[in-house]
């Protein structure tokens, strides 16, 4: 059971990292996070930002995208510089913060489907390369978390989120080859389970259809983060098993791009309806469902990004105070 109520997925619009951090800590103080600003360009994107954490696996940008390289170059350094600047900003804004903090990185399978080998296809095409990548990422993430703890001694726990939008495609064998003319072979579920255990009970975020709930439950993840608009009745049994196992659901209930936001009761409705459908006791709802935007907010206006976080926080209060409503 979590004591969190609401948070964001990760990305924010614009290039002002200090303002984004202030917005996060102001609007979702129960589980704030280090926001990502992909509008800053190369190295601030999901793949490049995470690649900056890899140990002994330098990358560079080629016309086709990110690729392993012999030594760290300009692109790698740019990603490292963005991350260091963000950590400096986090320390400045949240130096006296006490409580949990969420950090997001690209998960190993989406990363393996995005980075190319030096002379060949994507890393995903080579099981040995994926193992090396997972080990490198796990160590790099552990070092990253340790640095955040040094900078913010009041942080009581770090909640690690692995962004895995490509995971359904990895399991289904629909990830395109580097050439784009073929598809990479489907990966066995046990390999994915094994890789996720390399990380300390992560939250796995997947805003694509076909989230593998049973696999994630078996892997022992702490929470699964999904877009509520993609939930289907056929997912109910798997979600019920997830909740029975004590896993938390991060439920995306407002769009990631600008709309006119409804009142908190309407925002909370998908969570209330799911819980009622599954037949669980109402008083368990706020302990196992955390409300978020449907995905990252990089495509939103700054004003909407702030409003979306405020909306999920207010809707989470409905789940806590009146779980039978809706």
Q: What contacts 156, CB < 8 A, 6 or more positions away? A: 98, 99, 100
Q: How far is 63 from 69, CA to CA, in rounded Å?
A: 14
Nearest to residue 134, comparing CAs of 79, 73, 57? Answer: 57
116-153 pLDDT, tens digit each? 999 889 999 999 999 999 999 999 999 999 999 999 99
168-177 pLDDT, tens digit each? 999 999 999 9
Q: Do the Cβ atoms of 112 and 124 come closer than 8 Å?
A: yes
Nearest to residue 223, comparing CAs of 59, 100, 126? Answer: 100
Beta bridge partners of 205: 163, 225
Q: Do the Cβ atoms of 292 and 250 come closer than 8 Å?
A: yes
Query: What is the average per-residue pLDDT within 266-273?
Result: 96
Phi then psi for residue 39, to 5 deg, are -65, -15
5's tokens: 């109520």
pTM of the model: 0.96
Q: Is the pLDDT of residue 251 over 70?
A: yes
């Amino acid at each position: 059971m979590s004591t969190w109520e609401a948070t964001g997925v990760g990305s924010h619009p614009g290039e002002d990292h200090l303002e984004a951090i202030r917005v996060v800590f102001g609007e979702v103080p129960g589980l704030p996070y280090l926001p990502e600003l992909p509008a800053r360009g190369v190295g601030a994107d999901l793949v490049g930002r995470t690649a900056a954490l890899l140990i002994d696996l330098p990358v560079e940008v080629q016309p086709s995208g990110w690729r392993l390289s012999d030594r760290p170059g300009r692109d790698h350094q740019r990603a490292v510089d963005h991350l260091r600047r963000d950590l400096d900003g986090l320390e400045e804004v949240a130096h006296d913060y006490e409580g949990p903090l969420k950090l997001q990185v690209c998960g190993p399978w989406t990363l393996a489907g995005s980075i190319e080998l030096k002379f060949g296809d994507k890393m995903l095409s080579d099981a040995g390369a994926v193992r090396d990548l997972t080990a490198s990422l796990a160590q790099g993430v552990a070092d990253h978390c340790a640095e955040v703890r040094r900078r913010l001694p009041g942080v009581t726990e770090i909640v690690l989120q692995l962004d895995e939008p490509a995971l359904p495609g990895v399991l289904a064998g629909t990830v395109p080859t580097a050439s784009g003319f073929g598809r990479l072979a489907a990966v066995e579920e046990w390999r994915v389970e094994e890789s996720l255990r390399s990380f300390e009970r992560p939250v796995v975020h997947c805003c694509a259809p076909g989230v593998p709930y049973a696999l994630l439950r078996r892997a022992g993840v702490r929470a699964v983060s999904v877009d509520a608009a993609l939930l289907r009745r056929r997912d109910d049994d798997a979600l019920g098993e997830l909740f029975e196992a004590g896993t938390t659901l991060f439920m995306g209930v407002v769009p990631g791009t600008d709309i006119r936001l409804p009142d908190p009761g309407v925002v909370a409705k998908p969570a209330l309806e799911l819980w009622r459908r599954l037949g669980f006791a109402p008083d368990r709802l706020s302990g196992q469902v955390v409300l978020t935007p449907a995905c990252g907010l990089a495509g939103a206006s700054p004003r909407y990004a702030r409003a979306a976080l405020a909306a999920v926080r207010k809707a989470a209060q409905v789940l806590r105070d009146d779980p039978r409503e809706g």
